[in-house]
Amino acid sequence: MHPHQSVLLNEIRAAFHNKTLSSFFDGTLGAGGHAEAILTDHPEIHSFLGIDQDPTALQLAEKRLSDWKSKTHLIKESFDRLPEILARHQLNTLDGILLDLGVSSMQLDRPERGFSFSKEGPLDMRMDPDASLTAAEIVNNWSEKDLGRIFRDYGEEPRWRLAAKTIVEKRQAFPLHSTLDLMNILKPVLPWNPKKGINPLTLIFQGLRICVNQELDKLERFIESAINYLSPGGRLAVISFHSLEDRIVKNHFRLAASDKWDTVGIGGMFRDKTPTVSLVTRKPIVPSQTEIEANPRARSAKLRVIERI
């Protein structure tokens, strides 16, 4: 059994069905579930680039994709380095691009990675274990103002001020080293009613994780360059898991598909432009109830797909 269930697997297969894929870029390889499906469905692929920041994920994917060893290139890198990666492999265009932005089960389920408050572990949260910034550095050293901004902008937690103030007060007495340390100081001031939405601790941890890994900045950079590297008829598929990610994907896709720029100038005049893509999905594709029951972590997934004109 593989440690991570690939979300919206059938829907990803359908997104690239009847497409001839000579080159493919999987920017979030994980354990290789989506990659295995794409490689199985498309024997015509001659160059498959699988990217992940997590060396453990790459090791798992290497075993899983061993049947396609001659055509796969598995690379420890961040997906936003797309131009540099393609230059190294002498590729100018891509027929298919996939991004699955979710934190994988194998990361959430390993306490030593510090992604979840349900298990005690160090306040780490780095997707790339070689990166320098950790969640511990942020909660112990960053200002109350900066902490508040993280919880407000990245966590979308309504009580962001209280969370930031509490952390700054409590860390004076003792440094916050573990996920349990952070949970214990925030749980009393951020009580959760399961009938009223998401646990606020989930939002706090989300905000820290996004900040540690610069997730939204990387996504912005990636989509802007990815569209330019698509070959005519090539497709880009992105699975997001929260509103911040989905908003970025939706806005970039809609602008690229529009024949107008954003409103500018006096009187809000629209400037004409040439669309570069068409929207394959006008509304996001979401998991079926059957998939959600089999894999509850899929419940917030949204898939959007565009095709290069």
Decide if 254 is inside a domain: yes
Decide if 282 is inside a domain: yes
Which tens digits make up the pLDDT trace of 187-233?
999 999 888 888 999 999 999 999 999 999 999 999 999 999 999 99
Q: Are 30 and 95 contained in the same domain?
A: yes
Average per-residue pLDDT for the chain? 92
End-to-end CA distance of the chain: 40
Q: Are 247 and 299 contained in the same domain?
A: yes
Decide if 224 is inside a domain: no
Helix, strand and coil percent figures for the chain, each rounded to 5 = 45, 15, 40
Decide if 229 is inside a domain: no
Q: Are 117 and 209 contained in the same domain?
A: yes
Q: What CATH number has the domain bearing residue 298? A: 3.40.50.150
Confidence tier at 73 by pLDDT (50, 70, 90): very high
Q: Are 49 and 195 contained in the same domain?
A: no
Q: Are 209 and 246 contained in the same domain?
A: no
Confidence tier at 102 by pLDDT (50, 70, 90): confident
Q: Pick from 72, 67, 62: which is nearest to 24 by CA?
A: 72
Q: Are 238 and 203 contained in the same domain?
A: no
Instruction: Tell me what pLDDT residue 120 has.
Output: 82
- Structural domain count of the chain: 2
Tell me which residue range forms the domain holding 238. 9-106+234-308
Q: Are 154 and 239 contained in the same domain?
A: no
Decide if 221 is inside a domain: no
Distance in angstroms (rounded) separating the CA atoms of residues 141 and 150: 14
Confidence tier at 270 by pLDDT (50, 70, 90): confident
Decide if 4 is inside a domain: no
Instruction: Tell me what pLDDT residue 104 has.
Output: 53
Instruction: Tell me what pLDDT residue 68 has.
Output: 98
Decide if 225 is inside a domain: no
Q: Pick from 176, 62, 78: which is nearest to 131 by CA?
A: 78
Q: Pick from 99, 76, 74, 107: which is nearest to 4 by CA?
A: 107
pTM: 0.91
Q: What CATH number has the domain bearing residue 208? A: 1.10.150.170
Instruction: Tell me what pLDDT residue 111 has.
Output: 52
